[in-house]
Amino acid sequence: MQLPGVLLLSKYIIQGGREINGVIRIGGAKNSVLPIFAATILSGRKSIIHDCPILKDVEIMIDILKVLGCSVKREGHTVIIDTSGYIEYEVPDILVRKMRSSIVLLGALISRVKKAKICFPGGCDIGPRPIDLHLKGLEQLGVKINESHGTIYCEASDLKGADIHLDYPSVGATENILLASVFAKGTTTIRNAAKEPEIGDLQNFLNIIGAKVSGAGTNNIRVEGVKSLNDGEHTIIPDRIVAGTYMAAAASTGGNLELQNINVEHMQPIIAKLKEMGCDIYFKDGSMHITSPKRLRAVDIVRTLPYPGFPTDMQAPIVALLSKAKGTSIMIETVFENRFKHVEDLICMGANIKVDGRIAIIRGRSRLTGANVTARDLRGGAALVLAGLSAEGTTVLDAVEHIDRGYEDIHLHLQQLGADIVRI
């Protein structure tokens, strides 16, 4: 029963010590679906997107598209989006605050309706999340930007291609500038662009509907402006972070897992680290297999970096694994300012971790014990599930709504793979 005004947060109850074994199919990538949904606004036509995960963040983006005037229909994991109607240029504050990555709508709205109004997304669980690089790039395309009272107003009578150099290979800034340059007159070059696979997926979708984009995955992305776009159909790439998280679940419990629908290339930084920790990983008949040792080895240093470096979204899950590995490891979080919030809860479970700014020193313990812990952000929550799976005794994990943002029914999948985990 939901008490009025009281937000009852769901919990996971996990009995540790069970191996994770079996087969799992990995779904489409959250961080690919979000910018591609925004991109559908550009065409004013119909887009059919397959393998869209059923996640809170994706449903929020669908709500935003509907409020802006798009018609959106979900049929299982396929979403049909028709953006032929009148499109609003104001993104509702309440929805931007619920999901800061809605900022990627800025570039899409500027391209489609030549103006946009959106509130500053503000910080989130893992850091201040500025958008200075987004705005600097958009201004170079000729966008007039005014900021007042926490709101950004953009006008762009005519967008002109530009040669833009990003001070940092920001994923969101690359996506926003890319979306704003599709109709810009002439050529746009984005230098020091983010190389994450999700950028490549966005490029592929844009080209399917008639844009002229090349270079995604390299340092420089080139866009030739076009006049209009068409209908399109696209299947989202598999989620490399969800895949890495399930691999870590097997590794944390000494289990053996087969993962289907994997893009091996995208998984390389994660595969390398798990092999270094003692896992055996091989690819056979289109599936990836991981077999884990009884106890993982520590690694001297793990440094999170932009792709193709080790992904920051896997930092928390790997810290959970290293908490029980043999030896001492150092984790350096170079991407976000405040992404060690899961450490205090791991310490409750017996982990020996010292954090100093962006550095965590992890002295592996032979055992962790179940405890009452709380998810404080999406990937930190997932890390605590992994710790609970391998801890002795019962772990009660609060605020699992954080985890719903990025993992579809993770407790049901883990149950099918042998875990003793229930959601209440």
DSSP 8-state symbol, 296: P
Whole-angstrom distance, CA of residue 382 vs CA of residue 410: 9
Does residue number 101 form part of the binding site for ligand EPZ (CB under 6 A)?
yes
Does residue number 350 form part of the binding site for ligand EPZ (CB under 6 A)?
no
- What is the torsional sign of CA 3, 9, 12, 13? negative
Tokens at 259, concatenated: 């993962």
Does residue number 130 form part of the binding site for ligand EPZ (CB under 6 A)?
yes
Q: How many helices (H) and strands (E) does the chain have?
A: 14, 23
DSSP 8-state symbol, 311: -
Cα 417 off chain centre by:
23
Give the range of 68-76, 165-173, 228-236, 380-388 binding ligand EPZ by CB under 6 A. Answer: 165-173
Does residue number 131 form part of the binding site for ligand EPZ (CB under 6 A)?
yes
Known catalytic residue at 279: no
- The mark string for 378-397 relative to ligand EPZ (x by CB under 6 A, - otherwise) is xx------------------
Nearer to ligand EPZ, 31 or 40 (CB): 31
What DSSP letter does each residue of 141-152 carry, written as one string?
Answer: TT-EEEEETTEE
**Cα dihedral 168→174→175→181 (10° resolution):** 150
Does residue number 298 form part of the binding site for ligand EPZ (CB under 6 A)?
no
> Closest approach of Cβ 105 to ligand EPZ, in Å?
12
> Closest approach of Cβ 422 to ligand EPZ, in Å?
25
Nearer to ligand EPZ, 135 or 325 (CB): 135
- The mark string for 23-42 relative to ligand EPZ (x by CB under 6 A, - otherwise) is --------x--x--------
Q: Which residue has the tokens 């059919």?
A: 48
Site residues for ligand EPZ, window 195-234 (CB under 6 A)? 196
DSSP 8-state symbol, 331: E
Catalytic residue among 124, 154, 279, 348: 124
Nearer to ligand EPZ, 277 or 403 (CB): 403
- Identify whether the C-beta of residue 104 lies closer than 8 Å to the C-beta of residue 180: no
Nearest CA-CA partner of 18 in 318, 292, 420: 420
Give the range of 61-69, 82-90, 164-172, 263-271 binding ligand EPZ by CB under 6 A. Answer: 164-172
Three-class secondary structure of residue 168 per DSSP: coil
Residues that bind ligand EPZ (CB under 6 A): 31, 34, 101, 127, 129-134, 168, 170-173, 194, 196, 312-313, 335-336, 378-379, 406
**Residues with catalytic roles:** 124
